[in-house]
Structure 1
Amino acid sequence: MTSRTLIPSLVMSLSLLAVPAVAQEVSSGSGLALGVRGAYGIPVGDAVEDTSQSELFGNTVAPQVDLSYFFNRHLSLGGYFQYGIAKPDGCEEEAQCKARVLRFGVDLDYHFAPEGFVGPWVGVGVGYEIGSLRVGTSEDTLAKVGVRGFDLGHAHFGVDFQLTRSIAVGPYISASVGQYSNVDTEIFGASQDIDVPSDQKSLHVWIQPGVRLQIRL
């Protein structure tokens, strides 16, 4: 075999050897994914003793972003950040009340049928929660209340509809259990930061139906 025929033969042989490796890399499913969610938060339980979660915050409209890493097509681990906007149920008509709930943490999700058009998934996670309430008039702030504590655990279930190879959208529902450990207040300029005593701590729950758009990067 001459050098002129040897070089093309070697190139062709190496290319054929590389095809399975490339195909395996593409089909492994690993990589990053960006998620954008819109959820409606329904509070259940007490924020602290004798103060219900709904009186403090009420229902929330809660957009969320999350960034996940897929180890394969089925399993992903990621972080999330949610910003909830609310109006407390206990707010009097003559007062102006503004509330927000920030939630962030980590999620571990499992996708049952990532190759199909319809793909159910489930996940669990933990995180941290920061809530605040402002009561006042259009010109003055009369009082502020803030709470902080851990999201002790949450679970969510959803169904993805695979629009393209990299874009999926679908409904989901999540439920989280949390407990506030710190309360800070500011009333007419006087502030106070309090660690909630153990006998006054309560468990609260957020139920959140919503929709998620996920883009594989």
Structure 2
Amino acid sequence: MRGGDASHRRLEDGLLFPVNDMTARSIIPSLVLSLSLWALPAAADDAPSNSGLALGVRAAYGVPVGDAVEDSSQSELFGTTVAPQVDLSYFFGRQLSLGAYFQYGFAKGPEDCNDVTECNSRVLRFGVDLDYHFAPDAFVAPWVGVGVGYESGSVEIGEDGALATVSLSGWDLGHAHFGVDFQLTRSIAVGPYVSASLGQYSEMTSSVFGGAEVTRDIPSEQKALHLWIQPGVRVQIRL
């Protein structure tokens, strides 16, 4: 009987080990599947929101409309501009972005400049923009934006090295722009846009023939509203 018991135990042992092994093999895949299903919501929460910084580079052509000050038009004082711009934005997801911009416009100068008179003018603009991108994952992605800023324009006129300088500065009271991006990759987009900004100069600085600069506030009755219309092209890179 002892031998029978031993044989019986060995038989039971031989049956027990395979049963335990089969049980483990069935439990482990079930456990892995359960853990995977449990982790899916967490993985979805950890998925990148595509928020982050973006660098923009623009080239625009500025067309002035209206008066810089009373009885002195923008076009007569500055003329049209070729205006490169850089902007740095932060995206809150794929669609909404807030950013800062800086633009340096090389202006044509007063209309009465000739080969004898030296003319040099420029228009600087900087401020903040809030943009909304309608279809950021599509190849053709329209966007709109609004913003405010500050503007400074200056012109130098003279002959034989004797220059008179006049600078005007004031708030960009508000601007709006609209564009269409072509998504070359998920991170790089390029496309045309057009912007319109409404401004008013409030301060004038002048110097004559290298003399001391004189700054004064522009009287309310001499202030005027002006527009800059700027069609251009923008390249934006998501960092």
TM over 0.5: yes
What code does the residue aligned with 2:109 have?
A: P
Q: Is contact 2:66–2:227 with CA below 8 Å preserved after alignment?
A: yes
Alignment RMSD (CA, Å): 2.6
Match of 1:32 among 53, 75, 78: 53
Alpha-carbon distance in structure 2 between the residues aligned to 1:155 and 1:21: 40
- Structure 1 position 136, deviation (Å): 2.3
For 1:196, the aligned partner's letter is I
Structure 2: segments with no counterpart, 5+ residues: 1-19
Q: Match of 1:170, SS?
A: strand
Offset of residue 16 of structure 1: 7.3
1:123 aligned residue (145, 155, 158): 145
Report the alpha carbon displacement of residue 22 of structure 1 after superposing the two structures with TM: 5.2
Q: Cα offset for 1:193?
A: 1.1
- Structure-to-structure mapping, 1:16-165, within 5 angstroms: 21=42, 24-93=45-114, 94-137=116-159, 140-165=161-186
* Aligned-residue offset at 1:194: 1.3
Paired letter, 1:125: G
| Bigger share in helix | 2
Q: Among 177, 183, 187, which residue is 1:166 paired with?
A: 187
Aligned residues: 215
TM-score, structure 1 length as denominator? 0.89
Q: Residue 10 of structure 2 aligns with which residue?
A: none
Instruction: Call closer, same or farther: CA 1:25–1:42 in 2, change over 3 Å.
Output: farther
2:231 matched to which residue of 1? 209
Q: Which of these two proteins has the greater Rg computed from alpha carbons? A: 2
Q: Percent same amino acid at aligned positions? A: 70
Distance 1:22 1:199, change over 3 A: farther
TM-score after normalising by structure 2? 0.81
- The equivalent residue for 2:8 is none
Residues 1:24 and 1:197: Cα distance change in structure 2 (over 3 Å)? same
Counterpart-to-counterpart distance in 1, 2:61 and 2:219: 31
The range that moved more, 86-95 or 108-117, is 86-95
